């Protein structure tokens, strides 16, 4: 096709303007990008825009375009359609030299290069640019001349992978601008323009995907997989050119819900998401701040959050930048509608307003709403459907690799300044901090630092620091282990004080019955740890009172070395109502689901059920809760061992509880003299002559005594001097 060259009078207009002409088939001809050949070996790529003032079979250029391409009026040019390789010719970073168009209008006022970059992309989004191309730019009612100095492209094919890949920037001559292209303005040689902002030098250079992306430098550890999944779901479509996304019929993800235990990095991740792309500064809102006592103000606060995004989308369309809105504690304002009886209905209207803004009749395509909560079960279901907060990501407890990353982050400054002892082994600390959250690991480092600094404080009448020794301050391995033992305990870990009280006297292995229980318990622990088919294993230790069932259950739990061990004991629920007791038991199980390997000891189940033989009476509400929880399979890749104890097997059988346990192990009392003598010898409370006297007195008598009862009798006998064996004779 050949066109006659014309003059376009709008000097600030940088695109080719042409009038659509009917083709031979009667269909209007139109293409987005063309290459204009001024000679057989020289061509210039331009982006087209139709205009009614251009006569048919003509093409119009602005003055800067004609100067750049060396075009003259009424010149015949050959024009061909040009197709970009949109996986390799997307502009990641573009450096532009800027100067005043007319020197007489030059001034010394500062011009914000960041605002210039945003305005530039809004005016020239999805447009072809070539190195050394000249154009005119209108900014704050002043005309500037621009020259494209350098173009870097990013291979966007990497976003199709399941992980974040740092793409290597490639220099190209011609490329296509995107809404997220990073524009850098530099002063032209001999220019007097005063530029301010981050976009004025190469030091602020950042591609669509930052090639120097580093989780540890940003203070993020243990969340590599979660960040990769979020990028794949929420940002991959935003990296591609808008026309490709439109051709695919693809809609951007508008919402992400981050949920999980406190201190695992939900807020930190949400704050850093905005740095992955050239988005607007994220708006961070605490859920309760939205609520207002005046009628209609809560809904107005929601509308204000989306006002800028609405205005920019109306003005710029697909070239609008991404607006990120972060709701911390979103469950405070988005509870299930109709769930709050007797309320004013403010929560319901706030939810309605938020739903209409995210995915209402007037849909916004330039927003990303990120909600964070510890209680996803409280959030209204309508907010979680596709099109709203459709990407639901659990931010759980970090694994060993994640803990290494987090500890390295929080100790890096000490290491760089020589304040961390060479004896501190981060990998060893990571092994010993199972089920620690990121916040708890940070607290562990602070506690170790406090312990180290405390050694250099003089113990005088005044609090003084020994400055000479303080200069040699180092945080050692012992400081970390002291903090681990005394200061920081994981909320979802093992509380050794919980089960140590059950086995404070140790396990007296008085015979084969005890050995049999411990051996079968070890087999069940290994089954829980290794088996892929049985993520839930339950065992019931049943036997007469005082036979040591609780101690054996605690010992099995201790030797399992599971990162989460919890005792569900009736002594911690004294005075609880039935409903409160159910909630307490449910919380123990929910906490266990957050750990990959967990063990729960349900001690004295009949007491948990409030069972008494007179009546009989028991709590049916607690019984039903236990029946459900004991059979509930833990989440994927999580395993749970449940150890129950009871002295009333027949009662539990009538209640149907025996069926929810995988197996039952009988715990016996001491039933013969040999077992009794073994127990006395291991306890070491009597001399050999005294044990022989006891053996002589019990010879031929029937023995049936629990180990716990035996310990009490021995302690009573030891109060005499010499020990009185009358208690044993009884």
Helix (H) or strand (E) holding 304: helix 297-316
pLDDT at site 205:
38
Residue 72: count other Cβ atoms within 10 Å of its Cβ.
Answer: 8
What is the predicted pLDDT for the residue at 213?
52
Measured distance CA(260)–CA(266) in Å, rounded: 8
Closest residue by Cα to residue 44 from 53, 54, 34: 34
Angle, CA of 166, 151 and 3, to the nearest 5° = 135
Give the span between the Cα atoms of 355 and 338, in whole angstroms: 16
DSSP per-residue letters across 239-269: HS-HHHHHHHT-----EEEEE-STTSSHHHH
CB 207 within 8 A of CB 152: yes
pLDDT of residue 275: 63
Contact 92, 207 (CB under 8 A): yes
pLDDT at residue 251 in the model: 81
Structure-token pair, residue 703 = 């023995």
Summarize pLDDT for 296-345 with one digit per residue, the tens: 888 888 889 888 888 888 876 666 778 888 888 888 888 887 766 545 56
> What pLDDT sits at residue 274?
63
Residues of the chain with pLDDT under 70: 1-30, 155-169, 198-219, 241-243, 274-279, 316-319, 339-345, 361, 458-463, 466-470, 720-730
Q: CB–CB of 528/597 below 8 Å? A: yes
Amino acid 13: pLDDT = 36
User: Would you say the C-alpha torsion 558, 563, 569, 574 has a positive or negative sign?
Assistant: positive
pLDDT for residue 161: 46
Note the pTM of the prediction, 2 decimals: 0.66
Tens of pLDDT, residue by residue over 663-722, are 999 999 988 888 888 888 888 777 888 888 888 888 777 788 888 888 888 888 777 655
């Amino acid at each position: 096709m050949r066109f006659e060259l014309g003059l376009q009078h709008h000097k600030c207009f940088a695109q080719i303007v042409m009038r659509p002409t009917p083709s031979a088939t009667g269909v209007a001809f139109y293409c987005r990008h063309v290459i204009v050949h001024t000679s057989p070996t020289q061509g210039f790529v331009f982006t087209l825009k139709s205009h009614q003032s251009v006569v048919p079979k003509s093409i119009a250029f602005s003055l800067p375009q004609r100067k750049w391409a060396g075009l003259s009026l009424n010149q015949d040019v050959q024009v061909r359609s040009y197709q970009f390789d949109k996986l390799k010719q997307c502009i990641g970073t573009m450096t532009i030299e800027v100067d005043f168009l007319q020197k007489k209008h030059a001034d010394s006022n500062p011009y914000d290069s960041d605002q210039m970059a945003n305005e530039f992309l809004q005016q020239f989004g999805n447009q072809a640019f070539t190195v050394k191309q000249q154009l005119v730019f209108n900014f704050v009612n002043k005309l500037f001349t621009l020259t494209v100095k350098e173009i870097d492209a990013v291979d966007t094919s990497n976003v199709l992978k399941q992980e974040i890949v740092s793409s290597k920037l490639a220099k190209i001559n011609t490329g296509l601008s995107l809404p997220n292209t990073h524009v850098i303005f530099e002063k032209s040689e001999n220019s007097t323009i005063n530029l301010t902002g981050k976009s004025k030098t190469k030091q602020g250079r950042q591609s669509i995907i930052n090639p120097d992306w580093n989780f540890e430098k940003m203070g993020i550890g243990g969340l590599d997989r979660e960040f990769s999944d979020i990028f794949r779901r929420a940002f991959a479509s935003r990296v591609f050119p808008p026309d490709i996304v439109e051709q695919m019929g693809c809609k951007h993800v508008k919402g992400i819900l981050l949920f999980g235990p406190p201190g695992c990095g939900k807020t930190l991740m949400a704050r850093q998401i905005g740095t992955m792309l050239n988005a607007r500064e994220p708006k961070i809102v605490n859920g309760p701040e939205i609520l207002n006592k005046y009628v209609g103000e809560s809904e107005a606060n929601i509308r204000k959050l989306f006002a800028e995004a609405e205005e920019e989308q109306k003005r710029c369309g697909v070239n609008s930048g991404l607006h990120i809105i972060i709701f911390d504690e979103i469950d405070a304002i988005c509870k299930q509608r109709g769930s709050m009886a007797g309320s004013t209905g403010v929560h319901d209207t706030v939810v309605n307003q938020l739903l209409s803004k995210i995915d209402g009749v007037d849909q916004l395509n330039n927003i990303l709403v990120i909600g964070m909560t510890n209680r996803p079960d409280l959030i209204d279901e309508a907010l979680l459907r596709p099109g709203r907060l459709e990407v639901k990501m659990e931010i759980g407890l970090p694994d060993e690799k994640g803990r290494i990353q987090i500890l390295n982050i929080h100790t890096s400054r000490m290491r760089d300044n020589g304040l961390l002892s060479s004896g501190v082994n981060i990998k060893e600390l990571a092994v010993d901090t199972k089920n620690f959250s990121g916040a708890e690991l940070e607290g562990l480092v602070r506690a170790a630092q406090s312990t180290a600094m405390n050694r250099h404080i003089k113990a005088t009448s005044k609090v003084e620091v020994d400055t000479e020794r303080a200069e040699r301050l180092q945080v050692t391995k012992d400081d970390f282990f002291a903090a681990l033992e005394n200061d920081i305990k994981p909320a979802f870990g093992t509380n050794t004080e919980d089960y140590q009280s059950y086995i404070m006297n140790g396990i007296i292995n008085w015979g084969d019955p005890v050995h049999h229980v411990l051996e079968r318990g070890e087999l069940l622990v290994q089954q829980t740890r290794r088996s892929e088919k049985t993520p839930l294993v339950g065992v019931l230790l049943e036997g007469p009172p005082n036979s040591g069932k609780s101690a054996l259950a605690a010992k099995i739990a201790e030797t399992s070395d599971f990162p989460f061990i919890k005792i569900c004991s009736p002594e911690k629920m004294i005075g609880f109502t039935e409903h409160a007791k159910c909630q307490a038991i449910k919380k123990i199980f929910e906490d266990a689901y957050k750990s990959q390997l967990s063990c729960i000891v349900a001690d004295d189940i009949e007491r948990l059920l409030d069972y008494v033989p007179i009546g009989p009476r028991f709590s049916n509400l607690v019984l039903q809760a236990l029946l459900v929880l004991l059979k509930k399979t833990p989440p994927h890749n999580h395993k749970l061992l449940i150890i129950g104890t009871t002295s009333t097997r027949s009662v539990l059988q009538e209640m149907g509880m025996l069926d929810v346990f995988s197996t039952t192990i009988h715990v016996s009392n001491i039933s013969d003299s040999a077992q009794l003598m073994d127990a006395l010898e291991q306890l070491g409370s009597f001399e050999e002559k005294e044990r022989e006297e006891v053996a002589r007195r019990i010879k031929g008598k029937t023995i049936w005594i629990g180990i716990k009862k035996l310990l009490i009798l021995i302690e009573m006998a030891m109060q005499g001097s010499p020990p009185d064996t009358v208690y044993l004779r009884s």
